[in-house]
Amino acid sequence: MSTEQQGKDGPRGRYLASLSLAALGVVYGDIGTSVLYAMRESFHHTHELLPTRANVLGVLSLVFWALVLVISIKYGIFVLRADNRGEGGILALTSLVTPIGALKRNPRWVLIMLGLFGTALLYGDGMITPVISVLGAVEGLKVATPLLEPYIVPITIAILVGLFAVQSRGTATIGRVFGPVTLVWFVTIAVLGIVNIARDPHVFAAVNPLYGARFFIDNGWRGFLVLGSVFLVVTGGEALYADMGHFGRRPIRMAWYCVVLPALLLNYFGQGALLIHHPEAAENPFFHMMPRWALYPVVVIATMAAVIASQALITGAFSLTMQAVQLGYIPRVQIEHTSARERGQIYIPQVNWAMMIACVVLVLGFRTTTNVAAAYGVAVTTTMVITTLLLFTVERERWRWPLWASLGFSGFFLVVDLAFWGANIVKIPAGGWVPLVIGAAVFTLMSTWKTGRRILADRLGAQTLPIELFLDDVAARPPHRVPGTAVFMYGNPTGTPPALLHSLKHYKVLHQHTIFLSVMTEEVPHAEPGERLQVTELGHGFYRIVLHYGFMEEPDVPEALAAVAVEGLDLSPGRTSYFLGRETLIPSKERGMAPWRERLFALMSRNARPATAFFGLPANRVVELGAQIRL
């Protein structure tokens, strides 16, 4: 997004409209398909809640204020302000309040762990969202004719497998229709809502919060549990923040306030009007809103919207994984770029196939959206609670709010989040344990990798020779020099790379030009062009180069080194060799991690993507020197 296009206050005119249209497909597909099942689950027989006029108006009041408070105010106005140089998402928020450079021994480790756990939960949410969205759309066939009911699960699996199978080809072409198709979906649900509201316009009385309060008074504990189903109307709301870097605040807000929010409210109120006059429609109120001739076309549109919502979650999982790799929370993985023009369009095979298998297993295990809904919400509510806690720190330290304002604002929304969380936590025995188990497993992997890398760095650091001492030794006893340039990569820019010491020990020679290269990940999404490269001449043919990347960038070392302009330093590909250290990790009884975590870390390290490919190094110009390290 160029400066000229944005202007002083963000994008304007046609460019703003095109960005807002694109945001409809990517950002709002998930929350837009919630109309398929949210009202139905609120009046599901497990709640023993009859769709009387008082109960319908009470649920509609809760739906209205959930969308207004959680999405329109909390996320739309405030959370979107907490950007990390334009990027959003819980990892970006965590790095904003706990800089990466301080992660080794940060007194805010509680905030770091909260952010990390919230990130892990998003993987569990990302596996359930495609299932409930596509399954909810295909279940409309059952309303059209009961004869198709046995085919709902196979059709859902076929759609999901097909969706994951085409990921390697990229989404550049199909992505162009995401916005228009989703716009058609929102227009459709708005029209369906208006038609049904016309039968009973008095449903708009539910805007009065007293109807929600009366609902709790009349229904007690049962009414509180219904909050777990009402929460389904805001699932997907976290995408407003996570996708901010792709579109910016203004297009996301414009799409929400001008299209998404009105369409959702009209449809929910339309479903309410239908239920007041036809309580028997509670089995699937959305698909009972329309005449029978419209069922099949709406099922097709709903399925397309569900696929788009699923695609957005899959793409988000790829982006989140790349961020986690760059921040050092998971091992290096294979990242393929599916577009020569857009670096943000990536494909990660391991994540793709793992999510596909998980989605198929979930469809076969749950079989209906009612069963999936029992598992849905626990992960999202927990993530929203964590976001509120992290936002409190941003309010105090970044926005300089007074303590009373931060406590009042965050405290209010924390009460709202915890109410939804409490209503969802009772779902754990019925399936809510699924995203928690997935999140706990991912959290264990991420925390083990981060801790293991820190311990490994400490072990290597204890054995590392300072560069100054090495240079003094070379000046006192100069070894034989050979033509060419050698690049020795090491994470510590002040230490001598172990690979260099091993090379000198075995070969007894040094290259004419020797470079100590460190690649650093900063706590910002993208490093400024002027901050990318730091070159220091150390004398006697030695140079120290530090490359800086943001956590949304993929490093390309040869490309970065091509920008080095130092007289006499030849970095041409044919004369430059890269030397890397490869550590063989051996679990030990030394102080560190538990033995099982050391074995897990060693396994993850062995299966990590080679540094040669990750840093974009030419394979035929790389030399790896091994060493055994006891954890």
Q: What is the pLDDT of residue 5?
A: 38
Q: How confident is the model at residue 417 (pLDDT cuts 50, 70, 90)?
A: very high
629 or 73, which is more confident?
A: 73
The rounded distance, in Å, linking the Cα atoms of 133 and 33 is: 6
Residue range 244-259: average pLDDT?
A: 88
Residue range 134-141: average pLDDT?
A: 88
243 or 477, which is more confident?
A: 477
| Backbone angles phi and psi of 521, in degrees to 5 | -100, 125
The pLDDT of residue 267 is above 50: yes
Residue range 528-536: average pLDDT?
A: 84
Residue range 247-252: average pLDDT?
A: 86
Q: What is the pLDDT of residues 99-123, one digit of tens each?
A: 544 444 555 678 888 888 988 888 8
Q: How confident is the model at residue 402 (pLDDT cuts 50, 70, 90)?
A: very high
The contacts of residue 205 (CB under 8 Å, 6+ apart) are 57, 211
The highest-confidence range among 119-133, 237-251, 261-275, by mean pLDDT, is: 261-275
> In this structure, are residues 231 and 426 in contact, taking their beta carbons and an 8 Å threshold?
no
The highest-confidence range among 123-132, 262-271, 598-607, by mean pLDDT, is: 262-271
Interhelix angle 378-397/109-138, rounded to 10 degrees, is 140
Residue whose token pair is 């720190």: 393
Half-sphere exposure of 344 (CA within 13 A, CB side): 13
Q: Strand pairing partners for 576?
A: 485
Q: How confident is the model at residue 340 (pLDDT cuts 50, 70, 90)?
A: low
The contacts of residue 8 (CB under 8 Å, 6+ apart) are none
The model's pTM is 0.83
Q: What is the pLDDT of residues 420-429, one digit of tens each?
A: 999 999 888 8
Q: What is the pLDDT of residues 252-264, one digit of tens each?
A: 999 999 999 999 9
Q: What is the pLDDT of residue 441?
A: 93
Q: What is the pLDDT of residue 414?
A: 96
Q: Is the alpha carbon torsion for 465, 469, 471, 473 positive or negative?
A: negative
In whole angstroms, how far apart are CA 499 and each of 454, 488, 489?
19, 7, 8
The highest-confidence range among 40-54, 254-268, 361-375, 570-584, by mean pLDDT, is: 254-268
Residue range 156-181: average pLDDT?
A: 81
Q: How confident is the model at residue 6 (pLDDT cuts 50, 70, 90)?
A: very low
Q: What is the pLDDT of residues 373-400, one digit of tens each?
A: 877 888 889 999 999 999 999 998 889 9
The rounded distance, in Å, linking the Cα atoms of 501 and 57 is: 75
Q: What is the pLDDT of residues 449-505, one digit of tens each?
A: 988 888 888 877 777 888 889 888 888 888 899 888 999 988 888 888 888 888 888
pLDDT over 90 percentage in the chain: 34
Helices (H), 145-208: 152-165, 178-197
Q: What is the pLDDT of residue 465?
A: 84
Our measurement of the distance from residue 511's CA atom to the centroid of its chain's CA atoms, rounded to an integer in Å, reads 44
The rounded distance, in Å, linking the Cα atoms of 26 and 239 is: 9
The set of long-range contacts for 161-165, using a CB threshold of 8 Å and a minimum separation of 24, is 161/356, 161/360, 163/130, 163/307, 163/310, 163/311, 163/314, 164/314, 164/352, 164/353, 164/355, 164/356, 164/359, 165/356
Q: What is the pLDDT of residues 58-101, one digit of tens each?
A: 999 999 999 999 999 999 999 999 888 777 888 888 878 775 44
Q: How confident is the model at residue 174 (pLDDT cuts 50, 70, 90)?
A: low
Q: What is the pLDDT of residues 195-222, one digit of tens each?
A: 999 999 999 999 999 999 999 999 999 9
* Range of weakest confidence among 14-18, 475-479, 545-549: 14-18
Nearest to 289 by CA among 148, 201, 189, 369: 189
The pLDDT of residue 527 is above 90: no
The pLDDT of residue 53 is above 80: yes
Q: What is the pLDDT of residues 295-321, one digit of tens each?
A: 899 999 999 988 888 887 888 888 888
Q: What is the pLDDT of residue 2?
A: 37
Mean pLDDT of the chain: 86
